[in-house]
Structure 1
């Protein structure tokens, strides 16, 4: 048993090394004064200064953050509503059908999703740019929020709602004072995951972005095609670190929420 566990841990370490080694290689050379990714000469912040002194890049950063925050907020609202709707469906077959439709955008390849949105926006006459990127990000973020919120709803005891009704609470009061406070960790988790997906997405955004509007992922790809520049490494490093901060924040909030509800249950 111990031997199997040891081999499992070794395998896990190897997988993480393979996954993260290219990222750390990229981050390492973002501090290279030599300007190449072959020979490290001296430690420098030159490439980070170049990133922060690029007006066009700063506008793209703002575009990316605005799209991510708006799409995460709107998709969280829609995702919570969708999770509540699925939760209240009584028929098992209908509930499974709704969950299947919800999971389609998660399991479908990004290329197909991006191409589908491109065709849809072209037929609908929607100009490619901020609106098209925002709508597509909302669309693929809503199913993620639903999957984050639904388990918290399923953990909630129906007796909580019954007790609230017995005490004279109407449906709105039950929703705002019982259900939403209980599923708050799931809501925050869905918001942070939607924010992370929006910040990191490239494939879908590449299809639906237009002239004059870009996001960081698309900009990094465009600059990489022009040739090796360590400003790309610096920009990618900043984006990676920001994503890590979001994920850490999500786990901290989830653990605090779980602890609070655990203490409340013991009381």
Structure 2
């Protein structure tokens, strides 16, 4: 048993080392004064200063954050509505069909999704830019929110709804005071996942981005094609830290909600 445990731990260490080694390499060389990734000559913050001194890049960062926040908020609202609609379907065959349609955008290739949106916007006469990127991010984020919220709805005891109705609560009161508070962890999880996916997406955004509008992922790709510059490392490091903060924030809120839910139960006999 002990040997199996050590083997499992070593396997996990090896997996995480392989996953995070490129990120550590990228981050460490963002502080290299040599200007290349072939040898570390000394510590410097010049590449970060170069990033913050680039006005065009700061505008792109603002574009990325606006798109991510708007798409996360809108997709969370639509995803909650979609999860409620799927949960209300009684026949399992119809429910499974709706879930299959919902999961298409999750399992489909990003290249296929991006090309499909590009063809759709071209045929519809939609100008590529902020609007097309926002609509695309909302579209692929909604199924993620549905997947996050639906399990919490399935965990909810139907007797809670019956008790609320017996006490005189209307349909809106049941939704606002019983259902939404119960599924709040799933809503937060869906929001943070949608926000993270929007910040990190490249393939779909690359297809639907027009002239004069760009996001961080597309900008990093464009700069990397022009040649190796450690400002790309600095920019990628900042983006990684932002994503890491979002993940930590999600777990902190989830843990806090778990403690708040467990608190009243601890006092019961």
Give TM class, smaller chain: over 0.9
1:202-261 deviations in Å (ceiling 9; x for gaps)? 010000001000000000000000000000000000000000000010111111112222
In 1, Cα distance between equivalents of 2:2 and 2:248: 30
Who is 1:33 aligned against?
Answer: 33
Q: CA RMSD in A?
A: 0.9
Who is 2:134 aligned against?
Answer: 134
Kindly report which structure 2 residues correspond to 1:224-239, keeping only aligned pairs within 5 A, or say none: 224-239=224-239
Compute the TM-score of the two structures, normalised by the length of structure 1. 0.98
Who is 1:21 aligned against?
Answer: 21
Matched, 1:61 2:61: yes
Q: Give the CA deviation at 1:172.
A: 0.5
Q: Give the CA deviation at 1:9.
A: 1.7
In 1, Cα distance between equivalents of 2:154 and 2:50: 49
Compute the TM-score of the two structures, normalised by the length of structure 2. 0.97
In 1, Cα distance between equivalents of 2:4 and 2:42: 44
Q: Give the CA deviation at 1:175.
A: 0.1
Who is 2:100 aligned against?
Answer: 100
Give the ranges of 4+ consecutive aligned residues of structure 1 lying more than 6 Å apart after TM superposition. none
* The 10-residue stretch of structure 1 (139-148 or 257-266) with the greater mean CA deviation from structure 2: 257-266
Who is 2:123 aligned against?
Answer: 123
Structure 1 stretches of 5 or more lacking a match? none
In 2, Cα distance between equivalents of 1:20 and 1:73: 30
In 1, Cα distance between equivalents of 2:260 and 2:184: 11
Who is 1:85 aligned against?
Answer: 85
For this pair of structures, how many residues does the alignment match?
267
In 1, Cα distance between equivalents of 2:88 and 2:245: 35
* The 10-residue stretch of structure 1 (249-258 or 53-62) with the greater mean CA deviation from structure 2: 249-258
